[in-house]
């Protein structure tokens, strides 16, 4: 889920493609040759996870909305909350990054507008947050789609759980103009940081669920999270967890991704046909 164009993935599949063959007189089996599905999923996942990070700059762990003038919003962005009081719901949060790239507090460039409508306080069970985008770009990729976040209440550990749904989002590549589609249905557990409402950067979420899409090159794929993806709001990358990506045309060649042991770094691994490759994420 989050964060991560895979720089060496093309090389990974090229190397893997030379080893996944039958010997003797057997016909060579088709093998994955399109890495766009992995990179397109990474861009979409990173973009939508980052959208919530930016919304989090004007909300806090107590479940209220904070004065945007006091938040950790990037200096080049502006935020408004309407109505600005303690009792009236729903409330609309508008974050405007302007029409030129704005370098945000998570190291990503954004431009355009994020609008989030809260039916109630963030921590109230059954609160729904609907997020829409206007001329929105993430690191020069144009992003469209609606993100719906529903508070499901507390799990057995006492942690709040949010269901996050994105349907048929689109991601347009900044140079080749190709458009990919992306959908996800995931649960986000508010795992840590809820006791420090004035510091969003110690917030931790654990993400499980599924995703699917069609790459800009036309390859359909699906993703299943195998172990929860740990998202530290204060870190640019996913720090641990694993998922499996399967291309629809190559169901016998699932690709396993592992984000490591919890260190905040750009390192991950990909495993294809029993061979593990080191990955560096953008």
Reported as a pLDDT band with limits 50, 70 and 90, residue 15 is: very low
Q: Is the pLDDT of residue 155 over 80?
A: yes
CA distance 35 to 12: 9
Residue 256 lies in a domain: no
Residue 274 lies in a domain: no
Residue 184 lies in a domain: yes
Residue 117 lies in a domain: yes
Residue 110 lies in a domain: yes
The predicted pLDDT at position 70 comes to: 53
Give backbone dihedrals phi and psi of 60, rounded to 5 degrees, phi first: -140, 175
User: Which of residues 123 and 260 earns the better pLDDT score?
Assistant: 260
Reported as a pLDDT band with limits 50, 70 and 90, residue 61 is: low
User: Which of residues 119 and 73 earns the better pLDDT score?
Assistant: 119
Go through 254-265 and write b for each residue having 16 or more CB atoms within 10 A of its CB, e for each that does not.
bbebbbbeeeee
Q: Count of domains in the chain?
A: 1
- Range with the lowest mean pLDDT among 45-54, 72-81, 120-129? 72-81
User: Residue range 175-202: average pLDDT?
Assistant: 86
Residue 209 lies in a domain: yes
Residue 60 lies in a domain: yes
Q: Is the pLDDT of residue 182 over 90?
A: yes
User: Which of residues 137 and 238 earns the better pLDDT score?
Assistant: 137
Q: Calculate the CA dihedral of residues 207, 246, 137, 139 and round it to 10 degrees.
A: 90
Q: What is the span of the domain harbouring residue 127?
A: 39-233
Q: Is the pLDDT of residue 58 over 70?
A: yes
CA distance 241 to 91: 34
User: Which of residues 202 and 229 earns the better pLDDT score?
Assistant: 229
User: Which of residues 196 and 98 earns the better pLDDT score?
Assistant: 98
Residue 246 lies in a domain: no
Give backbone dihedrals phi and psi of 100, rounded to 5 degrees, phi first: -120, 160
What is the residue-averaged pLDDT of the chain? Answer: 81
- Give residues with Cβ within 8 angstroms of 185, minimum separation 6: 163, 164, 165, 209, 210, 211
Neighbours of 66 (CB within 10 A): 18
| C-alpha separations of 3 from 51, 190, 238 in Å | 12, 19, 7
CA distance 152 to 187: 9
User: Residue range 136-147: average pLDDT?
Assistant: 96
């Amino acid at each position: 889920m989050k964060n991560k164009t895979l720089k060496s993935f093309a090389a990974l599949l090229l190397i893997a493609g030379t080893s996944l063959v039958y010997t003797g007189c057997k016909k060579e089996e088709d093998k994955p040759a399109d890495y766009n599905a992995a990179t397109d999923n990474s861009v979409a996942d990173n973009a939508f996870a980052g959208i919530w990070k930016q919304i989090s700059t004007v909300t806090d762990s107590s479940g209220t909305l904070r004065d945007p003038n006091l938040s950790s919003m990037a200096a080049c962005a502006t935020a408004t909350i309407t109505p600005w009081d303690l009792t009236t719901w729903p409330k609309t949060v508008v974050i405007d990054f302007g029409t030129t790239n704005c370098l945000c507090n998570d190291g990503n460039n954004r431009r355009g507008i994020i609008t989030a409508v809260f039916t109630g306080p963030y921590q109230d069970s059954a609160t729904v947050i609907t997020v829409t985008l206007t001329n929105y770009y993430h690191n020069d990729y144009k992003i469209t789609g609606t993100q719906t976040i529903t508070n499901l209440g507390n799990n057995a550990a006492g942690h709040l759980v949010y269901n996050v749904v994105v349907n048929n989002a689109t991601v347009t590549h900044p140079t080749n103009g190709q458009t990919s589609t992306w959908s996800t249905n995931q649960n986000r557990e508010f795992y840590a940081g809820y006791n420090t409402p004035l510091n969003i950067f110690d917030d931790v979420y654990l993400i499980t669920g599924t995703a699917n899409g069609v790459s800009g090159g036309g390859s359909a794929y699906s993703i299943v999270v195998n172990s929860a993806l740990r998202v530290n709001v204060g870190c640019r990358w996913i720090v641990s967890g694993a998922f499996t990506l399967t291309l629809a045309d190559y169901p016998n060649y699932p690709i396993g991704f592992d984000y490591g042991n919890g260190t905040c770094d750009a390192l991950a691994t990909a495993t294809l046909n029993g061979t593990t490759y080191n990955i560096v994420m953008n």
